């Protein structure tokens, strides 16, 4: 037996050859080198389509750069599997020999370096590898997998765009939508729990319009900087004074821009904020408080009501209890007792949930580790998602991402 035919275990009971892993590590590095920004995933989509063609898997576009692959193997259960495909505007600093040097164009027209800084390249590769494995082992399963290669996750745009573009009119309705995400966890470990896996998120831009005047003549101005500064300070009281102490919520003002020169009171000030909430009720409460405070502070400053524009909105990501039990059982069978850790409560956001919620289908989302044990030696931890140093291990990503995908898919589709 040559080395390339050596058996590699993707998960317990799911085996492949070393050359299968090598081929997908190579594919992963190619995706890693060529990240594209949200809703600009044109070459990425074409690469995915080319691969699906090689595997003989029927596919169609949805939501512009979204690709849906339909792998059918006779009658049987239908399962959706989501892999997001977008990169981020980050200058990569991993020092890897396959690091990205690519650039992309931001919505405002600015050129930016791009990086697969959230590991979506591991998701694409794992989904394509699972598709190949399943298409080559048809005796082991039956049914249909709807592979959803979703663009624009980082801007909360893609899941909605695919659904609005008729994803579920063209693909069969699944009994569950599965999705996974690489995280700074040891290879072979998973985060999963029922209920909220991420928070709802809303981003808004607020434009405060006053009256411009010479810096020496405040009496002729309506100062938008002072008004906007009061808004920013008062917004801090929503979480601390209006919500119960155990309610997890965040209101962050992430940008604040006004003025060009110290002796000119400008006409406008603009800030943007990001809100994280655990459910629709808290969300509605926090957003209405923001509107109230912005309007009231404008009134207190004697200026007109500021403009508020929604930048993006992340829906809930809610793990169905029954299907979470099934996925946990499958992952523990594949990776051993104790491999599934109850996910820590965080305020990250994800739009995968909408792929199921939009049609009333349950969703299960888990995180998988793809880092070697030594990355955690002596209490260290590897750089996390969105860091310029985020660097999952290529081979561990392929093995564990594909193994997890197959373990849970075969739980539903296995004979």
- In whole angstroms, the minimum distance from the beta carbon of 386 to Zn ion comes to 6
Q: Between 71 and 183, name the residue whose CB sits nearer to Zn ion.
A: 183
> What number of other Cβ atoms are within 10 A of residue 380's Cβ?
8
- In whole angstroms, the minimum distance from the beta carbon of 182 to Zn ion comes to 8
Q: Between 135 and 385, name the residue whose CB sits nearer to Zn ion.
A: 385
- In whole angstroms, the minimum distance from the beta carbon of 120 to Zn ion comes to 6
- In whole angstroms, the minimum distance from the beta carbon of 232 to Zn ion comes to 26
Question: Which residues are bridge partners to 363 per DSSP?
Answer: 177, 319
The residue sitting closest to Zn ion, measured at its beta carbon, is 118
Q: Between 118 and 185, name the residue whose CB sits nearer to Zn ion.
A: 118
Which spans of this chain sit near Zn ion (rule: CB under 5 A)?
Answer: 118
- In whole angstroms, the minimum distance from the beta carbon of 52 to Zn ion comes to 22
How far apart (Å, rounded) are the C-alpha atoms in residues 304 and 319? 43
CA nearest to 45, candidates 4, 87, 78, 81: 87
Using CA of residue 273, residue 274, residue 280, residue 283, what is the dihedral sign? negative
Q: Between 115 and 118, name the residue whose CB sits nearer to Zn ion.
A: 118
**CA 267 to chain centroid:** 37
Q: Between 118 and 364, name the residue whose CB sits nearer to Zn ion.
A: 118
Using only C-alpha atoms, the chain has a radius of gyration, in whole angstroms, of 24
Q: Between 157 and 412, name the residue whose CB sits nearer to Zn ion.
A: 157
- In whole angstroms, the minimum distance from the beta carbon of 183 to Zn ion comes to 9
């Amino acid at each position: 037996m040559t080395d390339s035919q050596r058996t590699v275990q993707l998960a317990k009971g799911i085996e492949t050859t070393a050359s299968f892993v090598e081929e997908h590590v190579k594919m992963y590095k190619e995706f890693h080198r060529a990240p594209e920004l949200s809703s600009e995933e044109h070459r990425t989509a074409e690469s995915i389509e080319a691969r699906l063609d090689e595997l003989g898997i029927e596919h169609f576009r949805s939501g512009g750069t979204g690709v849906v692959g339909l792998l059918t193997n006779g009658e049987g259960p239908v399962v959706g599997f989501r892999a997001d495909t977008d990169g981020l505007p980050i200058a990569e600093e991993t020092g890897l020999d396959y690091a990205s040097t690519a650039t992309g164009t931001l919505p405002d027209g600015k050129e930016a370096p791009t990086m697969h800084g959230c590991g979506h390249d591991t998701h694409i590769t794992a989904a394509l590898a699972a598709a190949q494995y399943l298409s080559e082992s048809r005796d082991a399963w039956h049914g249909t997998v709807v592979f959803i290669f979703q663009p624009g996750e980082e801007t909360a745009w893609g899941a909605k765009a695919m659904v609005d573009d008729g994803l579920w009119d063209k693909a069969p309705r699944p009994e569950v939508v599965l999705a996974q995400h690489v995280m700074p966890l040891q290879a072979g470990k998973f985060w999963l729990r029922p209920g909220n896996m991420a928070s709802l998120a809303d981003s808004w831009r607020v434009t405060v319009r006053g009256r411009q005047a010479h810096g020496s003549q405040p009496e002729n101005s309506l100062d938008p900087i002072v008004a906007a500064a009061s808004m920013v300070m008062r917004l801090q009281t929503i979480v601390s004074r209006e919500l119960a102490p155990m309610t997890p919520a965040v209101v962050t003002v992430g940008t604040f821009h006004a003025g060009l020169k110290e002796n000119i009171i400008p006409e406008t000030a603009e800030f943007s904020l990001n809100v994280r909430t655990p459910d629709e009720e808290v969300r509605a409460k926090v957003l209405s408080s923001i509107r109230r405070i912005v309007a009231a502070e404008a009134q207190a400053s004697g200026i007109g009501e500021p403009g508020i524009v929604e930048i993006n909105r992340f829906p809930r990501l809610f793990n169905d209890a029954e299907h979470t039990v099934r996925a946990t059982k499958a992952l523990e069978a594949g990776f051993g007792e104790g491999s599934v850790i109850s996910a820590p409560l965080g305020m990250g956001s994800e739009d995968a949930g909408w792929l199921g919620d939009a049609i009333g289908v349950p969703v299960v989302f888990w995180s998988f580790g793809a880092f070697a044990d030594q990355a955690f030696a002596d209490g260290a931890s590897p750089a996390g998602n969105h860091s310029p140093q985020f660097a999952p291990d290529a081979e561990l990503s392929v093995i564990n991402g594909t193994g997890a995908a197959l373990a849970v898919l075969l739980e539903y589709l296995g004979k």
